[in-house]
Each structure stands twice: as structure tokens, then as C-alpha cells.
């Protein structure tokens, strides 16, 4: 049986429920980000996410202080956070070798 403790479900803008595996929370700059892996392919005219890709979302708080995940519109910010994530993964792989 698969461990469900790292599985989160998010609702997209069309109301579709999508399941992701939570990988990590990353502090970068003054912000916090979550790194997720799609559990199933997400077919959309603009997006084609598979298990080989990660989704990076910015963590912000709503008016109640609850965490909400926000899509990153700024390509530079997204690239910088992905690079920081890649460095962490590379370090982990080097430590395992």
C-alpha cells in the first residue's frame, strides 16, 4: 500500500482536483516555495505535466493565516527557485554516492 502522507490535492482554476507528491519546502530569498511532483499526467492545452517534472508554487498566507499556494508568473523568479532546488538535489545525490 502506498504511503499517502506526502500526497496533497489542489484544485485548479477549472475546479479539477489534482494530486501531487510533496517533495520539500524551499526557503529562497524572502519567500517560501513548495516543490511538488504531479501524481498523474495533467493534460491541458498549455500544460503537459508528467511525473518527470516538478511544480513550484510560492507559499503565501491568506487573511486567516492559512498557507495558500500561488503560481509563479515571473519566469526569472521561477528559474532561480528551480536552480536552487536543482543544487539541493545535486548535493543530496553527491552525498549518497
Q: Is residue 35 part of a domain?
A: yes
- C-alpha–C-alpha distance, residues 26 and 69, integer Å: 13
Specify the number of domains making up the chain: 1
**Quick one: pLDDT band at residue 1, thresholds 50, 70, 90?**
very low
Range of the domain at 41: 7-96
Q: Is residue 83 part of a domain?
A: yes
**Quick one: pLDDT band at residue 97, thresholds 50, 70, 90?**
low
Q: Is residue 70 part of a domain?
A: yes
Beta strands 55-61 and 48-49, pairing class: unpaired
Q: Is residue 1 part of a domain?
A: no
The 10s digit of each residue's pLDDT in 9-59 is 998 889 999 999 999 999 999 999 999 999 876 555 445 555 468 999 999
CB-CB neighbours of 54 under 10 Å: 19
- pLDDT of residue 3 exceeding 60, the answer is no
Cα→Cα distances 57→17, 46, 70, 75, 97, Å:
16, 17, 5, 12, 30
- C-alpha–C-alpha distance, residues 64 and 13, integer Å: 21
- C-alpha–C-alpha distance, residues 68 and 71, integer Å: 10
The 10s digit of each residue's pLDDT in 54-96 is 999 999 999 999 999 999 999 999 999 999 999 998 988 777 7
Q: Please tell me what DSSP assigns to residue 4.
A: -
Amino acid at each position: 500500500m502506498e504511503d499517502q502522507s506526502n500526497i496533497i490535492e489542489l484544485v485548479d482554476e477549472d475546479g479539477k482536483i489534482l494530486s501531487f507528491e510533496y517533495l520539500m519546502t524551499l526557503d529562497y530569498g524572502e519567500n517560501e516555495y513548495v516543490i511538488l511532483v504531479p501524481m498523474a499526467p495533467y493534460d491541458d492545452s498549455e500544460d503537459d505535466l508528467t511525473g518527470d517534472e516538478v511544480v513550484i508554487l510560492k507559499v503565501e498566507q491568506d487573511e486567516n493565516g492559512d498557507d495558500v499556494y500561488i503560481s509563479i508568473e515571473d519566469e526569472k523568479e521561477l528559474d532561480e527557485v528551480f536552480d536552487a532546488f536543482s543544487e539541493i538535489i545535486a548535493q543530496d545525490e553527491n552525498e549518497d554516492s
